Structures are given as structure tokens and as C-alpha cells.
Chain A
Amino acid sequence: SAVISQKPSRDICQRGTSLTIQCQVDSQVTMMFWYRQQPGQSLTLIATANQGSEATYESGFVIDKFPISRPNLTFSTLTVSNMSPEDSSIYLCSVVITVGNTIYFGEGSWLTVV
């Protein structure tokens, strides 16, 4: 398995501000992803974080709103920009580890926008 650390774990943010979430993995990974889970709902893929290049975004998500970096194999950041109350969600980092090719999730970053 893998230990996936996300920071912050929780935050309350002011409308109009931006927040950067960090994801650090303790294992060698092949792929990293960012998901959003709105209250009471399932998980929706935001983007695939690509090492050293621009992330690949899913339909409905854009780089200006959710800029993503992945400077190396085991670290990625997701920024939620110009936040509104509709951005209140859990943001989850997910990885595919090299050994076993299984997909694991972090504990999530629980954001509330007021």
C-alpha cells in the first residue's frame, strides 16, 4: 500500500480567495489524480496530474480554476482559485503505485467556503 498525506486536512476559506492543497506519497507512483467529492455525493475526477507538464482536465474542469502542479513523481498540488460556496467539497488525491498497480486515496482535504 501507500501512505498519502494531504495538507491541509480541513480549512474554512473566505469567498474569493484561493487555497493550495498538497499531496505527498511515500511510494513510487505511476499516476496521480485529483478528485472532488461534493457533500453527500460520489467522487468526480478533476484531472490527471502529469509530472513536469500540464495536467489533463476532465470535462467541466479548467486550469484557471484548478491549477495543478506535479514537479516530481511523489508530490502534487491542487489550487482551488477564486473560491465560492459551491466549491465547498472534499478534495482527494489519488495515486497508482508502481507495485501492484492499485489505486489508493488520501484522507482528503475538507474545504468549506464562507
Chain B
Amino acid sequence: GESVGLHLPTLSVQEGDNSIINCAYSNSASDYFIWYKQESGKGPQFIIDIRSNMDKRQGQRVTVLLNKTVKHLSLQIAATQPGDSAVYFCAEKWNTGFQKLVFGTGTRLLVSP
């Protein structure tokens, strides 16, 4: 169906650890993927994106990995900080006529000091 699923609804880590959030997407024709962070009471904040012609992209403390063979996306956060606590959504852009963005169910990341 029209869904992008996540394996872990809640991830608890200690400050300083590395975090990995996983996502399985549904549409093999999707060509663009985005990770968003949503803090309580706020809208989704763009973190990092990746196009389907890449398998890895790095940002500041974050890395996104794309495995098109198994339709899997992951977000790695290095040296996780309490400020990283939020819900993280993956999204895939379907190449239909209006390029629809389909969101996953979300993973809550809890970072303990």
C-alpha cells in the first residue's frame, strides 16, 4: 500500500552513542528520499536527503544510507545529544504526476543524559 514503514517505533540511547533509525519504503520507482525531524509542538524539519542514484550521503553528524535492492533507508546520527530527541520520519517521493511525498510512521528517539 501507500506506506513507508519503520522497524522501531521508539529508540532509546545514551548521550554520546551513535543512533541508527531504519525505514523500509514501498515504491521501487521512488527517486528521492528525505529524513525529517519533528520536535514536540513543531513542524517537520528537513535533516538530509538522498537521490536514488546515490547510496550514501553525509551531513553534519548525520549520514543517510540507501539500499535500493531491499528498499531500505537508514539515518545514522553520530554522538547523539539530548537535543536530538524527537520523532524522525522518512519520506519517499513518488514519481507520479504530482510527485507525491509519502511518509513513514515515525520513530521516536529518546536520548538520555
Tell me whether A and B are bound partners: yes
A residues neighboring B (CB under 8 Å):
1, 31, 33, 41-45, 48, 56, 58, 90, 92, 94, 96, 102-108, 110
Q: How far apart sit A58 and B34, CA to CA, in the bound complex (Å)?
A: 21
Choose from A41, A45, A92 the contact partner of B44 (Cβ within 8 Å): A92
CB nearest to A100 among chain B residues: B49
Q: Report whether B98 and A43 are in contact in the complex, using a CB–CB cutoff of 8 Å.
A: no
Q: For residues 98 through 112 of chain B, which have their beta carbon under 8 Å from a beta carbon of chain A?
A: 98-106
Q: How far apart sit A45 and B2, CA to CA, in the bound complex (Å)?
A: 11
Q: Report whether A106 and B43 are in contact in the complex, using a CB–CB cutoff of 8 Å.
A: yes
Q: For residues 59 through 112 of chain B, which have their beta carbon under 8 Å from a beta carbon of chain A?
A: 89, 91, 93, 98-106
Query: Chain A residues with Cβ under 8 A from B93's Cβ?
Result: 103
Number of residues from B at the complex interface, CB < 8 A: 21
Excluding A33-B101, A56-B98, 17 further A-B contacts by CB distance (< 8 Å) are: A1-B46, A41-B105, A42-B104, A42-B105, A43-B44, A43-B89, A92-B43, A96-B99, A102-B49, A103-B34, A103-B91, A103-B93, A103-B101, A105-B43, A105-B46, A108-B42, A108-B43
B residues neighboring A (CB under 8 Å):
34, 36, 41-46, 49, 89, 91, 93, 98-106
Q: How far apart sit A1 and B49, CA to CA, in the bound complex (Å)?
A: 14
Q: How far is the CB of B67 from chain A (nearest CB, A)?
A: 22
Instruction: Describe A's contact surface by its main secondary structure.
Output: strand
Q: Report whether B101 and A42 are in contact in the complex, using a CB–CB cutoff of 8 Å.
A: no
| 25 residue pairs from A and B, CB less than 8 Å apart | A31-B99, A33-B101, A41-B105, A42-B89, A42-B103, A42-B105, A42-B106, A43-B89, A43-B91, A43-B103, A44-B103, A45-B100, A45-B101, A58-B100, A90-B43, A92-B43, A92-B44, A94-B101, A96-B99, A102-B49, A103-B46, A103-B91, A103-B93, A105-B36, A105-B44
Query: Chain B residues with Cβ under 8 A from A105's Cβ?
Result: 36, 43-46
Q: Which 3 A-B residue pairings sit nearest by Cβ, starting from the closest? A: A107-B43, A105-B43, A43-B103
